[in-house]
Amino acid sequence: MAEYVEIPDAAREPKPLFPELPDFAVVREVREWVANGNATYDWRGHTHTAPANDEPVDFIGFFELPKGAEAPCPCCTPNHTKFGKGVVGWFPNTHCIRLMGEHCFKRLNPSGYQDAKDRLEQRQGRRSTINYLTANLHKKAEFIDALERVQPLAEHLDELQMIMGERLRKLTGVDLWQAVREGGNLKVVVETERGSFNSNYATVAGYRLVDPARKPLALAIVRALRFFRAIDLHANIADATDAERAAAARNFGKGIPLARDLMFDLADLRKFVSIETTATIRNWSQQPNAAAQIYIRRKDRIVEVGKRETDAKLIQLRDVIDSSIPILPSIVITADR
């Protein structure tokens, strides 16, 4: 229920303190002011009078009163509490600021309200992009360096996809993908009085290494590098055009998740040729009701694979298989609206 508020005369006096569009620091000041329990009409820059219906306005940003608190609006209820969410409105003709209800100016001037809201969203988007790029874009070189460093590993894992897939199947009759295609789960048949059913013996890591449908990692690295290398901005990001900043943010935003997915895949897929995984597959195959007969063992940089040890083929691993995978830089998320 609206409550009557006695407004001091000082609040009604015009305060033409803002001859130019204020920056966002004004909004931060207002937010801190009301968060500390102060009245909107007592803020140093507030003019508590109604603007003319056709007076142009620009919205600088929004603020919110503490929970349960409400303030009077100079536009429509100057002496009665009305709003909990407000907007900092700047009136260029009079150089004044009014702390108004979020939607109150809409009643005075619907088209002016919408124009001010649209301009605010544009400024917010511009400021958000500048802050995001300023906080993160210098890390572009680290992403490029990390991707270039893992290119040899990606190429080797793509080779192993073919070597341990179709080529191995033709040479030995061993179909590793058929054995692990159900999420890396190695199945054994369990016989019971009610019949037989498949049970999971173990789950192996990196099973997608031999997935014939897996997209090449090396091509994904080329694509990620293309996104990062396409970014070309002035040293001072604020001097760039909106289009240039938007393009940079778009390429940066596309490159980051792609790079992260690649690092995860590289770390995961190479586990398939680890000593632990090959031992698990070999031990599973020795179970009486295993779904396939596979001998596989890793010795140093060699993987032996066949139906039996006596006819196993040797697969040479490159040294890069055990190389370290770089940690990508963290991204700062900015949120100042």
pLDDT for the residue numbered 194: 74
pLDDT for the residue numbered 197: 67
Q: Check whether 195 has a pLDDT greater than 70.
A: no
- What is the rounded CA–CA span in Å between residue 91 and residue 69? 26
DSSP 138: G
- What is the rounded CA–CA span in Å between residue 63 and residue 337? 9
pLDDT for the residue numbered 189: 77
- DSSP element (H, E) containing 71: strand 71-73
- What is the rounded CA–CA span in Å between residue 296 and residue 202? 16
Which whole number is the average pLDDT over 271-297?
A: 94
Report the amino acid identity of residue 252.
Answer: F
**Where are the strands (E) in 180-311, listed by range?**
185-192, 195-203, 295-299, 302-306
- What is the rounded CA–CA span in Å between residue 18 and residue 57? 13
Residues 6+ apart with CB under 8 A from 299: none
Binned at pLDDT 50, 70 and 90, residue 198 comes out as confident
pLDDT for the residue numbered 192: 65
Q: Which two tokens stand for residue 96?
A: 């004044």
Residues 6+ apart with CB under 8 A from 274: 205, 206, 298
Pairing type for strands 85-91 and 77-83 reads: unpaired
Q: Which two tokens stand for residue 154?
A: 């990606």
Which is it for the CA torsion 113, 117, 118, 123, positive or negative?
Answer: positive
Q: DSSP characters for 301-334?
A: TEEEEESSGGGPEEEEPPGGGGPPPPPPPP-PPP
At 196, give phi and psi (nearest 5°): -105, 150
| Stated pTM of the model | 0.80
Binned at pLDDT 50, 70 and 90, residue 238 comes out as confident
pLDDT for the residue numbered 1: 66
pLDDT for the residue numbered 288: 85
Q: For residues 162 and 279, is the Cβ–Cβ distance under 8 A?
A: no
Beta bridge partners of 188: 199, 290
- What is the rounded CA–CA span in Å between residue 256 and residue 329? 10
Residue range 295-334, pLDDT digits in tens: 999 999 999 999 999 999 999 999 999 999 999 999 987 7
pLDDT for the residue numbered 203: 96
Nearest-5° angle of CA 28, CA 31, CA 33?
Answer: 110
Residue range 54-108, pLDDT digits in tens: 899 999 999 999 999 999 999 999 999 999 999 999 999 999 999 999 999 998 8
For the chain, give the mean pLDDT. 93
